[in-house]
Chain A
């Protein structure tokens, strides 16, 4: 559809990150929506300003300077709607990830059933699970009450019991929650999200509604083993907004500019990935990855069914120390192609946590940040795989086929060489089969997600305008054999009719130098029952691919990637991989 057929509206999408606030301008150019420019400023949610609007204002001033378009008025703030002389914009939307994670207590009956689902729900937003309550913990009612009054969480998520299932055990937990909430100062009482056995909704209402803010949504686990997260996830996002409004100076004013179109960055990312999953190859899923300063977000969707996970304190800025705390220094070092002492690595990571906006100025420091990003992504992806709609294997350790995978975050977009962005995604996620790795260079995804509901045409047209940089098509066969064994034969048919054949050995990483944008046809013939996503182990097939910034990458290093015990061997291997990339960068 051409935009001239609908009422074209210019849009500013503001994203308030932990470190940076970005204002993106979208408008109609030659009858189609386009991304125009971005203005960036430091986020001012925390000290010393404590007012997010200051950072937004500065980012809009930069946007004004870049575009030459007047967007702000001293008297009225952001000029909405746009005027006839093209001042201001018609719509403003805002997304936010800044702030300390929300403290959550999850409640369920059994650890591996409802409690697990409650945990998944908490992970769809910027939360820190401060405690968990279930029948497995053997706490008495008194112990539960004391625990809750000490923690004073922002939110309690209550799951538990299938519909028509057990009620008594959950009622006893509800009583503890009600009593403990009652004992807290009114201003400090937690919000409660009840998503348990629907037969208990009335009791929950009766017991909790007069004490604190209660929201009731359909059961997260209506029948045993089935997770129905979407209605609760939507409510979770509303709660996030409510809590942030209370905590964040200037946010109410910003929300008034957006006419209420405000959501969490993660939720907006999830929305746009869901949207894309309905647009791209229906048999594969779509994944969006955001490696932020504090948090890593993964969103994957298959046929419009989304799995969203937010991992706060797992980033490459303020969350850098969190990566080190959740893993070991050795796990981070495994990704380094250069020798750096433990102290230098550790000190760099902790300094990055306290100065998250700072940039690495040394070559070694850049390598540490890339290694940190790979490890953050590795931890996140290992956690999300078992929850994805499609599973590749019963072990739940490998990513199912995805097309495309889109990465965002400053560590990827600021990386001086494209291979660095690609290697973070490739090593961190370890995709399987044939997939395209793309880069959201301008950080558009959350903004497009926030706009998608009101103006899906904008989202579609901006995505179609080659807004993402194709880093490369990746072919990653799955299987195990001795290193050096030929596992795949590839015949590449170029558009001009030339044909090249390659043999791929297990353990290798190689690049087919296909020009950016060049279309090729690949005939893949796996050997030794290796699987390249053509319908099963040993199955051959044809696939059309487009060259990316690094051409086509054949990653035959195995899945999951194995490491040596000897760290020097790992380093040397990383050095070889780096040289492979550099040859084509």
Chain B
């Protein structure tokens, strides 16, 4: 029987968006059955257009081309600039885009579940999301995770 991987994706920034999709697509390539439960900010990764941003603010470990004090990072436009630079760097290094990885996951039958409570909380509409996903709650997650060989909270 196929191994199972259960992931909770709870973060919606560009950097945190990668691990769920990288691990899910790779596990699927290794013939795992995979389910990702998207909750809180992670839910934005199921929107039709992924608009994940990155912020160097409060992240002293982020490598920067020039040292940048927090006081400068709060200026308007810094976040979109950091996001643009990171995306360019990823492209240069042959790192897949989030959209590409998500598509690969869907093609590999990775099951994606949107947290219904978060949908209600943020007033999202079902039509905001890509097709082929399901809506459910914590119990739905445990039905799969209870049988999983690997469970990750990201």
A binds B: no
A contact set with B: CB distance below 8 Å: none
Chain B residues in the interface with A (C-beta under 8 A): none
